[in-house]
Chains A and B, each alone.
Chain A
Amino acid sequence: MVTPNAELAYNSKIEGEVVVSRLDSVVNWVRTNSMWPMPMGLACCAIELMGTASARFDIARFGAEVMRFSPRQSDCMIVAGTVTYKMASAVRRIYDQMAEPKWVIAMGACASSGGMYRSYATLQGVDRIIPVDVYVSGCPPRPEALLDALMKLQGKVRRERSATQLFSA
């Protein structure tokens, strides 16, 4: 029998302000909404990366405005620009210095595949040295494309079994 006072639904007085959820979704929720980028600004794409961070496109709407040039504080490396062979080892070192979990966005044609620079000095795609999660096309991609890549990456992170990975290791 249901009385008017029956507390079948969530009641903060009884449950002590507790929300029940899956640990995975809680961890992923935290991770997706504070994706701090490591702006690996190498060439032309870096200008669009700066444009994305500034007033009109405002990457802060997606919780990713905290551009940190210190890899230890970053979650997501945005490789923006042509990676040359001379630069390749520096990119890899910075990637190695980032704390887990970490993701990589290859922004633009050069970072994705070498793009229009098929030459002796250019690394033909940054995925030869670091694993890439999202590739963005364009030379350079528009800021909207970068925001789309960020949302794609957030979607990917949302599906990760992060809690299982955290506690099984």
Chain B
Amino acid sequence: MPATVAVTTLLQEKFPQVTPRASLDLEAVNVPPADVIAVLKALRDDHGFDMLVDLTAIDWAEGVSPRFTVVYHVFSTTHHGYIRVAANCANDELPAMPTAVGLWAGANWHEREAYDMFGIKFDGHPDLRRILMWDEYPHFPLRKEFPLAGIETPLPDPDVVAETGAKAIAAPMMGGPFVAATGEINLTEAEPRAKDESWSEVREKPKA
């Protein structure tokens, strides 16, 4: 679509550091983290992209650098176009990104969710707390090294724990739904099967 191709070009006139991003559908741009807010503001004010429909993050696995990418999907309620803006977090250990709450009030909960699931700190966020897991939860579940079954963790309410002895345990994957692993075609790895994440002398118990 010629109308949307122009957006990247127009953006590049103002921000030469913006580069096109590989995408199968929408127009997408890569932006350095420092300029994300300026670019989003330009998109909102100059190009009519007035609604932030989605904000999320991708973890490219442990050891990959840059490890975390924050992805914004911005939509226009007037010309009905989408654009994807992606920014890699500079630090792989303590990922951070400037907040977009100043541009869209709706970014508040999306950023809290990205913090909850990936541990990405949004600088300047007014109220960066966990949103889906409970406040004391020590892990970031959508990071790639975190197992699907979870890690043994105490529950938040001491009175209920005292009465029931319940805690968050690693879910039994044996006999559970069949799950598959991502990646290249390797039948023994990719075949969906009940995952055994119980620990043994070969596989160590995950540290809490």
- Complex A–B touching at CB under 8 A: yes
Q: List residues of chain A with CB under 8 Å of any chain B CB.
A: 85-86, 88-89, 92-93, 96, 114, 116, 118-124, 128-130
Q: B133 and A118: CB pair below 8 A? A: no
Of B31-39, B61-69, B146-154, the segment with at least 4 beta carbons within 8 Å of chain A is B146-154
Which residues of A lie under 8 Å from residue B169 when comparing CB positions? 124
20 additional contacts (CB under 8 A) given A86-B133, A120-B168: A85-B134, A85-B155, A85-B168, A86-B134, A86-B156, A92-B166, A93-B160, A114-B171, A118-B148, A118-B149, A118-B176, A119-B149, A119-B150, A120-B139, A120-B141, A121-B133, A121-B141, A124-B171, A129-B166, A130-B164
The one of B156, B160, B163, B172 that contacts A118, using a Cβ cutoff of 8 Å: B172
Q: List residues of chain B with CB under 8 Å of any chain A CB.
A: 132-134, 139, 141, 146-151, 155-157, 160, 163-164, 166, 168-169, 171-173, 176-177
User: Ordered nearest first, which 7 A-B pairs have the shortest CB separation?
Assistant: A120-B150, A118-B176, A89-B157, A89-B160, A118-B171, A85-B168, A129-B164
Which residues of B lie under 8 Å from residue A114 when comparing CB positions? 171
In the complex, what distance in Å separates the CA atom of A129 from the CA atom of B166? 7
Which residues of A lie under 8 Å from residue B141 when comparing CB positions? 120-121
Q: List 15 A-B contacts (CB under 8 A).
A: A85-B134, A85-B155, A85-B168, A88-B166, A92-B163, A92-B164, A96-B163, A118-B149, A118-B176, A118-B177, A119-B150, A120-B148, A122-B171, A124-B171, A129-B160
The one of B139, B160, B177 that contacts A88, using a Cβ cutoff of 8 Å: B160
CB distance from A91 to the nearest CB of B (A): 9
B194 — nearest CB in chain A belongs to which residue? Answer: A118
CB distance from B194 to the nearest CB of A (A): 9
A115 — nearest CB in chain B belongs to which residue? Answer: B177
A124 — nearest CB in chain B belongs to which residue? Answer: B171
In the complex, what distance in Å separates the CA atom of A92 from the CA atom of B149? 23
Which residues of A lie under 8 Å from residue B155 when comparing CB positions? 85, 88-89
